[in-house]
Amino acid sequence: MNDVLPEEIGCWQRIERAYARTMSLHGYREVRTPFVEETSLFVRAIGDATDVVEKEMYSFEHRGDDLTLRPEGTAGAVRAYLEHSVQGREAVTRWWYAGPMFRAEKPQRGRYRQFSQLGAEIFGDEGPGCDAEMIAMLVEFLRELAIPEIQVVINSLGGPQARSRYRDALVTHLRPREASLSPESQRRLATNPLRILDSKDERDRNAVGDAPGIHEFIDTGDRDHFGKLRAYLDALETPYLVDERLVRGLDYYTSTLFEIRGAHAKLGAGSTLVGGGRYDALVADLGGPAVPAIGFAAGLERLLIASELSPPTSATDALVAPLGEPAIGPGLALAGRLRRYGIRCEIDTRGSSLKSQLRRANQLAVRMVLILGENELADGSVQVKDLEAHTQERMARDQALRVVVDRLMAASRSADAPTRQGPP
């Protein structure tokens, strides 16, 4: 679990803001669910023979309740959807969320025990058009973050019946090869054989090399859905690969499944940025009506590693520098006026020496320093130092306000600074 220090937060906030914007452009609304849910919710939703449920959940007992820190967002979203009977109010629901998830995994680069996911769910739309729109939206979003080598991989898992037929066929194929499987996969053969397809172990890869593909087992409805998804992705000019071996670690998936990878040089080939798919049976499995659904989750820390955007520039625009105690009051007043125009400013309320305040200005990478010394106090003026233009001028404070706002407004048009009102 990591601390995110203020030096790093600018990159986080930029991705979070871009995500919120993308989602609102596509008609999703934000939902916030608790970080803690009943353990049984995750066991029922994710499946008891999955890595997440078997070994990664932070579960605890509290006064007779079995609780778990959420390892993913879909189970809680479905619980909230049902608890508030949202299906009775709207036919199609598009929700997004962002926040921390918890899994007791072995930490490594891009894999942490508390990590943040940007996710979304669509309830009530069973068509492949909504799958395609979701995937294309994500590709656009990753492009906006300047993530290189974006690669979409899709598959269809069919419905629960097809999955069960395929599971039998896979076990029949693997049983004679059992001795050559990794110990983990030997165990999986009895509990969750589909996961063997996902194994990175060379022994398992050899054993599944000529196993039957799932597409032979899916029914015509799912085949038709998958065909349309491909056609829509083509229409959206979103490139993709079909990988019949793609399975994901959570049991609730049915039909469409996808992963988006990228930045292989930085993250390694196996590292997924986004994982998602349909879970058409989950709402009913959790006690609700039959509502089809699809969702995804992207790992924010991985997006940060993968993104090639340069870090945002300074978070502070101006430093008000009162030299000595008598200047602190007028300095506070001047800083207040600047902030009313949206100028992000810091003031040294200790009245330190000019040298130390200029050092602070450099550290903050501010553009403007407003110095209030004895002379400026006497005639109500201020020294305006522009660290970018390398100029310094003494002027009346009203005029200084205009100059600072003008210069920073011009500079902020392309930057991450908040929108400002017009000059005073």
Residue at 303: amino acid letter: L
Residues 6+ apart with CB under 8 A from 385: 368, 369, 370, 371, 391, 392
Torsion of CA 120, 121, 125, 130, to 10 degrees: 20
The smaller minimum CB distance to ligand AMP, of residues 144 and 416, is found at 144
Considering only 38, 54, 105, 386, the residue that binds ligand AMP (CB under 6 A) is 105
Nearby residues of 354 by Cβ (< 8 Å), 6 or more positions away: 321, 323, 371, 373
Nearer residue to ligand AMP within complex by CB, 94 or 302: 302
Q: Is 112 in the site for ligand AMP (CB under 6 A)?
A: yes
255 contacts ligand AMP (rule: CB under 6 A): no
CA distances (Å), 326 to each of 288, 329, 400, in order?
Answer: 68, 7, 20
Would you say the C-alpha torsion 313, 412, 366, 385 has a positive or negative sign?
A: positive
Smallest gap from Cβ 34 to ligand AMP, in A, equals 18
Q: Is 70 in the site for ligand AMP (CB under 6 A)?
A: no
Instruction: Report the residue from 76, 128, 193, 249 that binds ligand AMP according to the rule CB under 6 A.
Output: 249
Q: C-beta of 240: minimal distance to ligand AMP in Å? A: 16
Stretch that binds ligand AMP, among 106-114, 166-174, 312-320, 414-422 (CB under 6 A): 106-114
Spacing of C-alpha 196 from chain mean position: 28
Q: H or E stretch including 154?
A: strand 151-156
Q: How far is CA 305 from CA 63, 71, 146, 271, in A?
A: 41, 21, 11, 11
Over the window 201 to 240, marking each residue x when it contacts ligand AMP by CB under 6 A and - when it does not, the resulting string is ----------------------------------------
DSSP 280: T
Binding status of residue 72 toward ligand AMP by CB under 6 A: yes
Shortest distance (Å) from residue 107 CB to ligand AMP: 8
Closer CB to ligand AMP, 299 or 322, in the complex: 299
Member of 22, 33, 93, 117 binding ligand AMP (CB under 6 A): 117
Give the nearer residue to ligand AMP in terms of CB position, either 297 or 372: 297
Q: Is 416 one of the binding residues for ligand AMP (CB under 6 A)? A: no
299 binds ligand AMP (CB under 6 A): yes
- What are the b/e assignments for 380-409, b being 16+ CB within 10 Å? ebbbbbebeeeeeeeeebeebbebbbebbb
Interaxial angle between packed helices 128-144 and 220-235, expressed in degrees from 0 to 180 and rounded to the nearest 10: 40
Q: List the one residue from 133, 301, 317, 376 that touches ligand AMP (CB under 6 A).
A: 301
What CA–CA distance (Å, rounded) separates 150 from 148? 6
Is 297 an interacting residue with respect to ligand AMP (CB under 6 A)?
A: yes
Kindly state the smallest distance separating residue 203's Cβ from ligand AMP, in Å: 24
Choose, by CB under 6 A, the member of 44, 70, 195, 248 that binds ligand AMP: 248
Minimum distance, C-beta of residue 52 to ligand AMP, in the bound complex (Å)? 7
Residue placing its CB nearer to ligand AMP in the complex, 8 or 216: 8
Task: Classify residue 145 as left (phi > 0), alpha (psi -120 to 50) or beta.
Answer: alpha
One character per residue 150-169, x = contact with ligand AMP (rule: CB under 6 A)? --------------------
Q: Residue 297 or residue 382: which is nearer to ligand AMP going by CB?
A: 297
- Among 303, 143, 134, 153, smallest CA distance to 239 is for 153
Dist. CA 107–CA 112, nearest whole Å:
5
The 93-102 sheet, strands edge to edge: 29-30, 93-102, 114-123, 293-299, 272-278, 254-261, 151-156, 241-242
Instruction: Please report how close the Cβ of residue 188 comes to ligand AMP at its closest, in angstroms.
Output: 17
Sign of CA pseudo-dihedral 212, 216, 222, 227: positive
Asked whether position 47 contacts ligand AMP by CB under 6 A, the answer is no
Residues near ligand AMP (CB under 6 A) are: 72, 103, 105, 110-112, 115, 117, 248-249, 272-275, 297-299, 301-302
